[in-house]
Amino acid sequence: MSRLFNVCLIASWYSSNIGVLLLNKYLLSSYGFKYPIFLTLCHMMACSLLSYIAISWLKIVPLQTIRSRWQFLKISALGVIFCSSVVTGNVSLRYLPVSFNQAVGATTPFFTAVFAYLLTFRREGWLTYVTLIPVVAGCVIASGGEPGFHLFGFLMCIGATAARALKSVVQGILLSSEGEKLHSMNLLMYMAPVAVLVLVPAAFFMERDVVGITISLARDDTKFIFYLLFNSSLAYFVNLTNFLVTKHTSALTLQVLGNAKGAVAVVISILIFQNPVSVTGIFGYSITVTGVFLYSEAKKRSRSN
Segment 12-40, tens digit of pLDDT:
999 999 999 999 999 999 898 999 999 99
Q: How far apart are CA 269 and CA 275, in angstroms?
A: 8
Task: Return the pLDDT at 250.
Answer: 64
The Cα–Cα gap between 46 and 237 comes to 10
Q: Is the pLDDT assigned to residue 163 strictly greater than 80?
A: yes
As a whole number of angstroms, the distance between CA 145 and CA 141 comes to 6
Q: What pLDDT is attached to residue 89?
A: 96
pLDDT > 90 in the chain, percent? 61
**Domains contained in the chain, number:** 1
Q: Which structural domain range is residue 216 located in?
A: 2-304
**What number of other Cβ atoms are within 10 A of residue 257's Cβ?**
17
Terminal-residue alpha carbon distance, the chain: 36
Interatomic CA distance for residues 89 and 275, integer angstroms: 19
Q: Answer whether residue 56 shows pLDDT above 90.
A: yes
Span 61-110, pLDDT tens digits: 999 999 889 989 999 999 999 999 999 999 999 999 999 999 999 999 99
Between CA 259 and CA 106 the distance in angstroms is 8
Average pLDDT, the chain: 90
209 pLDDT above the threshold of 70:
yes
CA-based R_g, the chain, Å: 19
- Decide if 291 contacts 130 (C-beta within 8 A): no
d(CA 207, CA 37): 8
Q: Would you state the pLDDT for residue 138?
A: 93
User: Is the model more confident about 173 or about 232?
Assistant: 232
Q: Are 44 and 196 in contact (CB under 8 A)?
A: yes
CB–CB of 106/262 below 8 Å?
A: yes
Quick one: average pLDDT of 243-250?
Answer: 79
Query: What is the reported pTM?
Result: 0.92
Q: Is 118 exposed, middle or buried (0-12, 13-18, 19+ CB in 10 A)?
A: exposed
For Cα atoms 172, 176, 177, give the angle at the middle one, nearest 5 degrees: 175
Task: Give the confidence band of 7 by pLDDT, cuts at 50, 70, 90.
Answer: confident
pLDDT confidence of residue 157: 97
Count of CA atoms in the C-beta half-sphere (13 A) of 301: 12
The CA-atom distances, in angstroms, between 23 and each of 139, 229, 242 are 24, 11, 19
User: With bands split at pLDDT 50, 70 and 90, how would you rate the model's confidence at 298?
Assistant: confident
Interacting residues of 22 by C-beta distance below 8 A, sequence separation 6+: 98, 265, 268, 269, 272
- What single letter denotes the amino acid at residue 62? P
pLDDT of residue 254: 67
Region 134-141: mean pLDDT is 93
Per-residue confidence at 171, pLDDT binned at 50, 70, 90? confident
Has residue 235 got a pLDDT over 80? yes
Contact 69, 129 (CB under 8 A): no
Over 80: is that where the pLDDT of 255 sits? Answer: no
| Percent of the chain residues topping a pLDDT of 70 | 97
> Mean pLDDT throughout 43-51?
97
Q: What is the average per-residue pLDDT within 168-177?
A: 82
Helix, strand, coil share (%) of the chain residues, nearest 5: 80, 0, 20
Q: What is the pLDDT of residue 175?
A: 75
- pLDDT at 252 > cutoff 90: no
In three-state secondary structure terms, 207 is coil
Which of the 8 DSSP states describes residue 27?
A: I
Residue 249 has pLDDT above 80, yes or no: no
